[in-house]
Amino acid sequence: MFKKVCIADLLVEFIKVFEDVPEYTLPVVIGLAVLQGFRIYYDFAGYSDIAIGLAQMLNLTIPENFDRPYFSTSLQDFWRRWHMSLSSWIRDYVYIPLGGNLNHRGANLLIAMFLCGLWHGAAWNFAIWGLYHGLGLSLENAVRSLRPAWFEDHPLWNGVRWAACYGFVSYGWLLFFYPASTVWKMTIDPILGILGS
154 is catalytic: no
d(CA 87, CA 78): 10
In angstroms, the CA 76 to CA 157 distance is: 16
Alpha-carbon dihedral of residues 170, 137, 148, 156, nearest 10 degrees?
Answer: 0
Residue of 83, 120, 133, 154 marked active site: 120
Q: How many CB atoms lie within 10 A of CB 109?
A: 26
Q: Please provide the DSSP assignment of 136-169 as one string.
A: HHHHHHHHHHH-GGGGSS-HHHHHHHHHHHHHHH
CA torsion sign for 14, 15, 18, 22 is negative
CA distances from 180 to 73, 123, 137, 162, 188 (A): 27, 11, 21, 26, 12
- Amino acid identity, residue 196? G
Instruction: Tell me which residues are annotated as active site.
Output: 120
